[in-house]
Chains A and B, each alone.
Chain A
Amino acid sequence: MNKYFLVFLALIMGQSLFAQDYYPVNDGVKETSKPYTSFTNATIYISPTEVITKASLVIRDGKVVNVGKNIQIPNGSVVIDLEGKTIYPSFIDLYTDFGVTKAKRAQGNGRSPQYSATREGFYWNDHIMPDFNAIDAFKFDSKKATEFRKAGFGVVNASRQDGISQGTGILVSLRESGDDSNRILDASSTDHFSFSKSVASRQSYPGSLMGSMALLRQVNHDLIWYTAGGSTTKDRALDAMITNKGITKIFDAGNKGNDIRADKIGDQFGIQYVIVGGGDEYERIQDIKATNATYILPINFPDAYDVSNPYMTDYISLADMRNWNQAPSNPKAMADNGIRFALTTHELKSLSAFKAKLIKAIQHGLDKTKALEALTTVPASVLGKSDVLGTLRKGAYANFLITSGDIFEDGTTLYENWTSGQKSVINDMSVKDIRGTYNLTAAGKTYTMDITGDMAKPKAEIKLGETKYPATLSYKEGWIVLGMTDEATKDVTRMTAVVNKSSNNLSGKLITPSGTEQQFSATRTGDAKEEEEEEEEEEEEDAPEVVAMTYPNIGYGYKTIPSSKNILFRNATVWTSEEQGTLTETDVLVVNGKISKIGINLSADNATVIDATGKHLTAGIIDEHSHIAALAINEGGHNSSAEVTIEDVVDPEDIGIYRNLAGGVTSIQILHGSANPIGGRSAIIKLKWGESADNMIYQDSPKFIKFALGENVKQSNWTSFSRFPQTRMGVEQMFIDYFTRAQEYEQSKQAGGTFRYDLEMETLSEILKSERFISCHSYVQSEINMLMKVAEKFDFRVNTFTHILEGYKVADKMVEHGVGGSTFSDWWAYKFEVNDAIPYNAAIMTNQGVTVAINSDDGEMSRRLNQEAAKTVKYGGMSEEQAWKMVTINPAKLLHLDDRVGSIKVGKDADLVLWNDNPLSIYAKAEKTFIEGALFFDLEKDKQMRATIKQERNTLVKMMMKDKGGDGGKKRPPSGRPKQVFTCETL
């Protein structure tokens, strides 16, 4: 598009509209120009579902005046005949940062984290900025507006995409002419949120996804309290939240898991967020549907990987390959499931890629009507502006597109994009089609010339006999400029001519290589040859092959989630983890997910019989201290983070779950890390591979929280010197302080009246009431003893000391207090406080009567906990049955789950493992792992999956080799999955 031409258009069309009616005029007489413009003979999409042909659209003063078949064209109207052309309402993008200046990144300063907020008179957390208004940071970006209009957009919603509470957005018309008085349709159209911190502040809290979630909940609680007049001080952030109350709330979630997380928070406070998704919603479509939210979907479908180097291909996971293949079908999946969505250009590297991505979605089965709705009526309705946006009904803004045909087809040309009645030419409608075959007579020779390609940007090919003369052709503003190179001499002949609308031939000036001027002429002899392109199109029309999805949608995911079966284990060596000890040649019957009978020669009834002769059947292993299957482990932004919960961030797609199952593990407690003395709440889950996070979490789960002592909470091993506490002395006082405050909180709550609901204090209160249990990371005897004394002072008991490497020094005191110990088998020497850690710890504590578990705190060791338990036989002489209890019934007891799991006992959940050998043997392998009677790991199935993974990888690699790549044929370099392995100390 020629820049000057646009300016020219703006001048003639818009000049009189610059000034508003009621503004004084000092530079001449008042000029008003509000003519009717009528578009006739067009196919008109009044809305995605109302299409009329041979119809007219009449607009005036930026609005639709009339639309329909056989309608009256007003007198004095400018009439534009659109015979053969189509009019669509122009597109609306709900989620952009158009024209809004970016937040300024805070400069780093000092080596210690910043704990306090920097803004005065606002909320205690800098990342909560509801008081920010995009309008205050808006400047119309003419260049970007042109790009948007080229992509078919007429109106965009814009906000500053920064922070957790981001403040309000604006609705902007993309019209070039006029000023903000014409362009700003709504100065406070939407209210924005995300889980990511603002770059403008270095305040360290929240430092995790679960922290962001807790903060969002707390700010909503605070809003209730503040609105009720609970605060004696002025908080301009909360004031702004009150102002923004009725405005559409948009949550930038960014992936399927976060979609669900955002919606959950909304549900708690009666807010229905409109959710900006991540494009992977198809992987959990039922859960997405259940949110009842409207979605804003990006269509930045991933480019194919460059798989030309086989060594490098190994780094690409099957999941990422599948994502490339499946993501374009996300919009279709949403539509098929009746989930309302808008489409956005958000996350697209370039706006010019929008159409190609859109067409890709349609090739993958997205219905065209749905696509149009997602770009017009849905966003209009989200904004509460269906009466003026998204359709071409009477009274709506005159925002429309004029195209050569179906806008969702590859070859269709977008001619004009009208915004508020202002024309913007994308491709000149009046351009004459010069494509064809010509006899070109130049400098005494007659060549053949084929002009092909895009009508507005054609290409030329010139030949003399069989000799090719490489040619360049430019076709602009009614002129052609043609260059022709003689390959033998490298000489260039230049030609230029004006295209005459009344003739099919071209003639004009020629400049020879030597500089003399002559005339040339080209006589049209026929239509252009388009054979090659047609073939290509046919290929593309084949429906793209989409590989099947699994649960979870990664390698080793299952096609269907395993379900409970009735099973009879025949003739097994049964390790009961109960008083009966180990029973040989015994049958165990599983019915409806529960252990139904244990005995000899049990009748199978309708159960599947598994011959377990020579094999060992045990309860599933329980890991009291795990950090797998979580998206975050530490919220270290504060020294107490009782308000956060790992249940918010369970990651059901961690391959660690599958690998743990392969090691006979069925239940784990995902503990918060040890970055602070009062950590976060736990998630206790069953490793139901393929299920959603919520379905993995125990129903009526016992409530736990992580506490921590020692070097980590003092921040001894890294450079941080500003956070309290820095010594074990301080740790004690911090606990006393928090528990005292929790007592006072509870008192004020009981007293009634306006009180501030505090998530942190609520949690601590639960501890005081013995409704929530502490699992405390601990090493040396002094601190172990200290926490027991603090608890006794506040009249509750510590439930579990985890790690507890010097537990053997105070085992008698632990028994007296009534606390259990969950320890490593043989770890030590990794930091100063484990100097006296000994592998005999578990044995000594057991001998003194402490309930002892062996835990992992490590994604690798957790899949061999049977071996770790066996080490207690070597170190301290535990019996095999004692050892086995340390990874089954004992952790179940510590987790208050021993009435449900942890042993083979009638009535308990059928969480069972079949081993090929004594489970404590280094040579033992788990052959089958069941949870509630469903087979979640099977050695045989594993073998098959290895083969299918290989096959599927190969299929996808072949498909990627064929793929033409994204923008400019680019492909992504191979890359590995960004999965992080967590331990206690991971920040």
Chain B
Amino acid sequence: MMKKYINLSIVLVLLVGLSAFAQQTPAPNQTTAMSITRVTAHIGDGTVINNATIVFENGKITAIGDASTVTAGTVVDASGQHIYPGIIAPAKSLGLVEVDAVRASNDQDEIGEMIPHIRSLIAYNAESKVVESMRPNGVLIAQIAPQGGTISGTSSIVQLDAWNWEDAAVKVDDGIHMRWPSSFRRGRWWLGEPRGFKPNDNYAKDIEKIRSFFTTAKAYENSETNGGEHNLAYSATQGIFDGSQQLFVSANGEKEIIDAVTFCKEMGIQKMVIVGGYNAHKITDFLKQNNIAVLVGQPHAQPSMEDHDYDHNYKLPKLLMDAGLLVGIQNSRMSNFQTRNMPFYAGQVAGQGLDKEKALQLITGNNAKILGIDADYGTLTVGKSATFFVSQGDALDMRTNLLTYAFIDGRKLSLETHQTELWKRYTEKYSKQ
């Protein structure tokens, strides 16, 4: 039986591996200047320029403005079309899992509870078919985060058109990801408990474990302070104390968020972000006072409680934005393939009455700010990377999210994928019958 099982695994690996060769070839560096004209430019900071011209050279935006802007290099007339900053997907294990159910293709969750030293970047599969399927929808940048455990590991930010992880890296080891304990937990039905929520009697104990870890990690400076022995986990944590790294804390309840924020302040953690934030709308004043940004879960989710508003998840980012918080959207709880629906998440929030340009911020400018890459990405701004895409229509609506061009650092990407190839192949098959 075991032998059979092993053989099966090998076959699966081979199959998954082989078909990955269908991957699109990454685009070469930008060599000539390019201008896109007569386009509606959605800047990603809440503003829009009609009939805009955007010029980019050597991978950077060199000019953006109205029709009077002087063009350079190849000019592309995009009249009637729309240009958007590349969409940024935070806190996601993109490229760490190819097929959810195939264990051999899953590299997102290492064993261990407190493992900040586990780094996502080196396992990121730049040639993943799931990753390539992001581009035709405008998702061009992602933060690749390990999942599971309490401290899941260290993320890096990548661009989604690369030969390998090294080339893909935009910001290496940018943050540590942690899941805050829950004061309630679901019943362990497989042990005969009811399936519903019940108080987590170990909540305080769970927090104490985290406190003890961070306290020791903070005191740890180097191996000399640790009896001459190096500790990988502690040394991997130093960035969040000196401010060079962010701590992304996944928390959803009011109590949990307040506890997490209070804890981080006490610990002297310089920069933290709340991920999830299901009940953040109830404590917006608190979050504002503490200057905490929130990466809200995807709006395409069900309310967690029967009595909650049916549209709670749809409108939550709007509620937080209206309250003046810095808000982005992530979808860490979904299958990776769903990440290509990021533009429609923003569209869904706009459907609840949020201005469309503001909704766009949720997945571009705001996400860039929250991830600390706003100097280069997130908005169509002179001096920033030429990472953007052109859509025939409104990119936040699925009917009109039809990409004509996409660029990362000025490189013109292929918009083909394994999926478009199969589409064309079978359309052709039938056209010849």
Q: Does residue A870 face the partner (Cβ distance < 8 Å to B)?
A: yes
Q: Which of B195, B307, B344 contacts A980 (CB 8 A)?
A: B195
Tell me if A978 and B335 are in contact (CB < 8 A): no
Q: Please, how many angstroms separate the alpha-carbon atoms of A809 and B428 in the complex?
A: 11
> Contacts A829-B336, A946-B309, A949-B307: A925 and B351 contacting too (C-beta < 8 A)?
yes
Tell me if A311 and B254 are in contact (CB < 8 A): yes
* Residues 720 to 746 of chain A near chain B (Cβ within 8 Å): 721
Q: Which of A844, A923, A976 contacts B350 (CB 8 A)?
A: A923
Q: What's the nearest-Cβ distance from chain B to residue A310, in Å?
A: 9
Q: Please, how many angstroms separate the alpha-carbon atoms of A121 and B307 in the complex?
A: 52
Q: Does residue A836 face the partner (Cβ distance < 8 Å to B)?
A: yes
Q: Which of B335, B422, B430, B433 contacts A830 (CB 8 A)?
A: B335
CB neighbours (8 Å) of A311 from chain B are 183, 253-255
CB neighbours (8 Å) of A920 from chain B are 399
User: Which of B80-88, B96-104, B168-176 contacts the other chain?
Assistant: B96-104
CB neighbours (8 Å) of B419 from chain A are 828, 838-840
> Contacts A840-B419, A867-B344, A873-B398: A978 and B196 contacting too (C-beta < 8 A)?
yes
Contact mask for chain B residues 120-137; partner A; CB cutoff 8 A; 1 contact, 0 none = 000000000110000000
Q: Please, how many angstroms separate the alpha-carbon atoms of A870 and B347 in the complex?
A: 13
Q: Does residue A812 face the partner (Cβ distance < 8 Å to B)?
A: yes
Q: Does residue A455 face the partner (Cβ distance < 8 Å to B)?
A: no
Tell me if A975 and B197 are in contact (CB < 8 A): yes
Tell me if A844 and B426 are in contact (CB < 8 A): yes
> Contacts A831-B99, A923-B350: A976 and B396 contacting too (C-beta < 8 A)?
no
Tell me if A809 and B426 are in contact (CB < 8 A): yes
Q: What's the nearest-Cβ distance from chain B to residue A726, in Å?
A: 10
Interface residues contributed by chain A, number (CB under 8 Å): 71
Q: Which of B335, B396, B430 contacts A811 (CB 8 A)?
A: B430
Tell me if B302 and A859 are in contact (CB < 8 A): yes
CB neighbours (8 Å) of B430 from chain A are 811-812, 844, 847-848
Contact mask for chain A residues 698-720; partner B; CB cutoff 8 A; 1 contact, 0 none = 00000000000001000011000
* Residues 387 to 433 of chain B near chain A (Cβ within 8 Å): 396-402, 419-420, 422-423, 426-427, 430, 433
- Complex: chain B residue closest to A873, CB-CB: B399
Q: Please, how many angstroms separate the alpha-carbon atoms of A319 and B302 in the complex?
A: 18
* Residues 854 to 880 of chain A near chain B (Cβ within 8 Å): 859-861, 863-864, 867, 870-871, 873-876, 880
CB neighbours (8 Å) of B402 from chain A are 874
Interface residues contributed by chain B, number (CB under 8 Å): 60
Tell me if A832 and B102 are in contact (CB < 8 A): yes
Q: Does residue B220 face the partner (Cβ distance < 8 Å to A)?
A: no
Tell me if B337 and A830 are in contact (CB < 8 A): yes
Q: Please, how many angstroms separate the alpha-carbon atoms of A830 and B335 in the complex?
A: 7
Q: Does residue B224 face the partner (Cβ distance < 8 Å to A)?
A: no
Q: Which of B98, B102, B351, B433 contacts A924 (CB 8 A)?
A: B351
- Complex: chain A residue closest to B101, CB-CB: A831
> Contacts A827-B337, A975-B198: A318 and B306 contacting too (C-beta < 8 A)?
yes
Q: Please, how many angstroms separate the alpha-carbon atoms of A656 and B310 in the complex?
A: 9
* Residues 89 to 127 of chain B near chain A (Cβ within 8 Å): 98-102
CB neighbours (8 Å) of A834 from chain B are 99
Q: What's the nearest-Cβ distance from chain B to residue A941, in Å?
A: 12
Q: Does residue A502 face the partner (Cβ distance < 8 Å to B)?
A: no
Q: Please, how many angstroms separate the alpha-carbon atoms of A973 and B194 in the complex?
A: 14
Tell me if A317 and B306 are in contact (CB < 8 A): yes
Q: What's the nearest-Cβ distance from chain B to residue A846, in Å?
A: 12
CB neighbours (8 Å) of A832 from chain B are 12, 15-16, 99, 101-102
Q: What's the nearest-Cβ distance from chain B to residue A870, in Å?
A: 5
CB neighbours (8 Å) of A8 from chain B are none
Q: Does residue A88 face the partner (Cβ distance < 8 Å to B)?
A: no
Contact mask for chain B residues 301-342; partner A; CB cutoff 8 A; 1 contact, 0 none = 111011101110000000000000000000000011100110
Q: Does residue B367 face the partner (Cβ distance < 8 Å to A)?
A: no
Tell me if B306 and A844 are in contact (CB < 8 A): no
CB neighbours (8 Å) of B347 from chain A are 922-923
* Residues 950 to 982 of chain A near chain B (Cβ within 8 Å): 953, 973-981
CB neighbours (8 Å) of A953 from chain B are 307
Q: What's the nearest-Cβ distance from chain B to residue A313, in Å?
A: 11
Contact mask for chain A residues 912-931; partner B; CB cutoff 8 A; 1 contact, 0 none = 00000000111111000000
- Complex: chain A residue closest to B12, CB-CB: A832
Secondary structure type dominating chain A contacts: loop
CB neighbours (8 Å) of A981 from chain B are 302
Q: Please, how many angstroms separate the alpha-carbon atoms of A353 and B211 in the complex?
A: 45
Q: Does residue A193 face the partner (Cβ distance < 8 Å to B)?
A: no
Secondary structure type dominating chain B contacts: loop
- Complex: chain A residue closest to B97, CB-CB: A829
Tell me if B427 and A844 are in contact (CB < 8 A): yes
Tell me if B426 and A830 are in contact (CB < 8 A): no
Q: What's the nearest-Cβ distance from chain A to residue B230, in Å?
A: 39
Q: Please, how many angstroms separate the alpha-carbon atoms of A848 and B309 in the complex?
A: 42
Q: Please, how many angstroms separate the alpha-carbon atoms of A711 and B100 in the complex?
A: 13
> Contacts A839-B419, A840-B419, A978-B195: A942 and B344 contacting too (C-beta < 8 A)?
no
Q: Does residue A659 face the partner (Cβ distance < 8 Å to B)?
A: yes
Q: Which of A826, A921, A978 contacts B194 (CB 8 A)?
A: A978
Q: Does residue A124 face the partner (Cβ distance < 8 Å to B)?
A: no
Q: What's the nearest-Cβ distance from chain A to residue B131, in Å?
A: 11
- Complex: chain B residue closest to A839, CB-CB: B419
CB neighbours (8 Å) of A861 from chain B are 300
Q: Does residue B187 face the partner (Cβ distance < 8 Å to A)?
A: yes
Tell me if B184 and A831 are in contact (CB < 8 A): no
Q: Does residue A5 face the partner (Cβ distance < 8 Å to B)?
A: no
Q: Does residue B31 face the partner (Cβ distance < 8 Å to A)?
A: no
CB neighbours (8 Å) of A979 from chain B are 195-196, 306
CB neighbours (8 Å) of A811 from chain B are 426, 430
Q: What's the nearest-Cβ distance from chain B to residue A142, in Å?
A: 31
Q: Does residue B6 face the partner (Cβ distance < 8 Å to A)?
A: no
CB neighbours (8 Å) of A847 from chain B are 427, 430
Q: Does residue A312 face the partner (Cβ distance < 8 Å to B)?
A: yes
CB neighbours (8 Å) of B268 from chain A are none
Q: Please, how many angstroms separate the alpha-carbon atoms of A555 and B303 in the complex?
A: 13
Contact mask for chain A residues 473-489; partner B; CB cutoff 8 A; 1 contact, 0 none = 00000000000000000
Tell me if A973 and B306 are in contact (CB < 8 A): no
Q: Does residue B1 face the partner (Cβ distance < 8 Å to A)?
A: yes
Tell me if A717 and B101 are in contact (CB < 8 A): yes
Q: Does residue A754 face the partner (Cβ distance < 8 Å to B)?
A: no
Q: Please, how many angstroms separate the alpha-carbon atoms of A876 and B419 in the complex?
A: 11
Q: Does residue B246 face the partner (Cβ distance < 8 Å to A)?
A: no
Q: Please, how many angstroms separate the alpha-carbon atoms of A830 and B334 in the complex?
A: 11
Q: What's the nearest-Cβ distance from chain A to residue B55, in Å?
A: 29
- Complex: chain B residue closest to A321, CB-CB: B307
Tell me if A923 and B351 are in contact (CB < 8 A): yes
Q: Does residue B19 face the partner (Cβ distance < 8 Å to A)?
A: yes
CB neighbours (8 Å) of A835 from chain B are 15-16, 19, 99
Tell me if B306 and A319 are in contact (CB < 8 A): yes
Q: Does residue A79 face the partner (Cβ distance < 8 Å to B)?
A: no
Contact mask for chain B residues 3-22; partner A; CB cutoff 8 A; 1 contact, 0 none = 00000000010011001000
**Lowest 6 A-B CB distances belong to which pairs?**
A976-B197, A922-B347, A978-B196, A831-B101, A840-B423, A555-B307
8 extra interface residue pairs, beta carbon distance < 8 Å, beyond A318-B307, A721-B1, A873-B399: A317-B306, A812-B430, A832-B102, A838-B423, A840-B420, A860-B301, A876-B423, A975-B199
B contact residues vs A (CB 8 Å cutoff): 1, 12, 15-16, 19, 98-102, 129-130, 183-184, 187, 194-199, 253-255, 279, 300-303, 305-307, 309-311, 335-337, 340-341, 344, 347-348, 350-351, 396-402, 419-420, 422-423, 426-427, 430, 433
A contact residues vs B (CB 8 Å cutoff): 311-312, 314-315, 317-319, 554-556, 655-656, 658-659, 662, 711, 716-717, 721, 808-809, 811-812, 826-832, 834-836, 838-840, 844, 847-848, 859-861, 863-864, 867, 870-871, 873-876, 880, 920-925, 942, 946, 949, 953, 973-981
14 A–B contact pairs at CB < 8 A? A314-B254, A662-B310, A808-B423, A829-B335, A838-B423, A859-B302, A860-B301, A867-B398, A870-B397, A871-B398, A923-B351, A946-B309, A976-B197, A979-B195
